[in-house]
Amino acid sequence: MDHNSGRVIRGEGPVVDVQFTSLLPPVGRVLIVKDLGLRLEVMQYAEKKTVRCVALGPTDTVSYGMEVTDSGSVLSIPLSQDILGRVINVFGQPLDEGGEITAEESRPVIQPSPSYLEVNSQLELYETGIKSIDFFAPFPKGGKIGLFGGAGVGKTVIITELIHNIVSASQGYSVFMGVGERTREGHELIHELKSKDLLKNVSLIFGQMNETPGVRYRSAHAGLTVAEYLRDTFNKDILLFIDNIFRYVQAGNEISTLMGQLPSDTGYQPTLGQDVGSIQERIASTSRGAITSAQAVYVPADDFNDPAIETILSRQDASVILSRDLAKRRLYPAIDNLRSTSVLLDRTIVGDHHFDAVRAARKILQRNADLQSIISVLSKDELVAEDRQIVDKAEKLIYFFTQPFYSSESYTGLSGVYVPLADTVEGVRRIIAGDVDSIPKEQFYLKSTLDEIERQWQEKSKVSN
């Protein structure tokens, strides 16, 4: 047996212990089970001459005594411009039917974040065409926007819509990371990108829910490495879409438990903050280009006090909170506009017109929320005239911020719309000013601009007369 070879002495699920006779490989080194080609990543030292590894693939056929060789390197991903338009795994291997990918270089998936001096911290708004996001939680270029919500409230639909709206207008490249999610959603996204002729400038990296925790965990690092490569090599702005960042945390927690680490008093891995930070701090703007990220965040049991959710939330530049109540009422996108916010909501950044409109809209929406307990017991008719007027305007604002999506055209039968921010701000201002008090709230449902709403109402009124 070579000095850099060992043998499997224990296997339990995705954890494999390997004993060496002399030289122990360092933590982070990739080992290979010789007969299977299975990669193992060294996570910690166990007893004498033994390393504990997490498998980067299925371990069903691993058996006692199998020879394991030290690859001599850490987990790396081969890179070239050929990864654009392709679907790959954590090793850079193609998952589609496009043939082999020619590599020009290889980079370790674990990379340091840019230094303080390298980071460009200038704030700039990225228009998405989604009314609620652009108005209440504007998307910062080179920043991070989190889409927080429980199961089935529309996180992936919004991510897909952002891909459609931003990628089609972008001159840069995009990277999609599917971390711990369903294979079906990946197929749907690829089909959507192909049908819109957008796949050619997008690279997709998948570590799906059926994979081992090691693959799911490292697929996030691999996707970031791809984004950094495209930014640094081609001096391009990169759009990075992550679905789902909570699954990355979950995979890290599984690995921590398998390694025998005691959980923190919150039930998560003791390195929760470090794990999340290792991803979020690499998403940054430099002199070579910006990486701008939109991240879907699954909220278990709709509990926003979950420690993982609080940790992820604290590292976002903009937070879009999705509401199950709005989803039940079919008010899509089901964004809670009172709880969603952004660092860009500053008068000096978005301007007086936008900033004042947001403050006025939130004041009306908050008053409406406060009045709901009275309305549920009595009725809206029992309110004073001023409060009835506020409730009417709030309902119109809620309906105005619904919007048909391109990504859901096949389900709704409605054509998707892209709404410029200026039109959204002007529409909100006019609703608050009372310019459209005569139009019923139902007329605002799943429309684009206020001009369209007024035009359709006028046509409807003419027909009824």
At residue 332's C-alpha, the angle toward residues 408 and 459, to 5°, is 85
Q: Beta-strand (E) ranges in 157-288?
A: 173-179, 202-207, 238-243, 285-286
8 Å CB contact between 54 and 254: no
324 three-state secondary structure: helix
334 three-state secondary structure: coil
Neighbours of 242 (CB within 10 A): 28
| Contacts with 206 (C-beta within 8 Å, 6 or more apart), sequence order | 87, 88, 89, 95, 177, 178, 186, 219
Question: What's the DSSP call for residue 113?
Answer: P
Neighbours of 62 (CB within 10 A): 19
Name which of 438, 433, 463 is nearest 453 in CA terms.
Answer: 438
Out of 155, 218, 282, 447, which one is annotated catalytic?
Answer: 155
| Contacts with 253 (C-beta within 8 Å, 6 or more apart), sequence order | 263, 268, 269, 272
Look-up of token digits 């900033």: 355
Q: Is 195 buried (19+), middle (13-18) or exposed (0-12) by CB count in 10 A? A: exposed
Look-up of token digits 């299977």: 36
User: How far apart (Å, rounded) are the C-alpha atoms in residues 222 and 242?
Assistant: 12
Out of 7, 107, 182, 324, which one is annotated catalytic?
Answer: 182
Query: How much helix, strand and coil, in percent to the nearest 5, is found in the chain?
Result: 40, 20, 40
Q: Is residue 127 among the annotated active site residues?
A: no
* Secondary structure of 61-128 in HEC code, one letter for each residue: CCCCCCEEEEEEEECEEEECHHHCCCEECCCCCECCCCCCCCCCEEEECCCCCCCCCCCCCCCCEECC
User: How far apart (Å, rounded) are the C-alpha atoms in residues 318 and 306?
Assistant: 19
Q: Is residue 34 among the annotated active site residues?
A: no
| Contacts with 324 (C-beta within 8 Å, 6 or more apart), sequence order | 149, 150, 153, 302, 334
User: How far apart (Å, rounded) are the C-alpha atoms in residues 6 and 45?
Assistant: 14
53 three-state secondary structure: strand
Out of 181, 211, 228, 395, which one is annotated catalytic?
Answer: 181
Look-up of token digits 């509401």: 323
Q: Per the structure block, which two tokens stand in for 219? A: 């697929």
User: How far apart (Å, rounded) are the C-alpha atoms in residues 57 and 68?
Assistant: 15
Q: Is residue 131 among the annotated active site residues?
A: no
> Do the strands 29-33 and 173-179 form a parallel or antiparallel pair, or are they unpaired?
unpaired
Q: Which residues are catalytic?
A: 155, 181-182
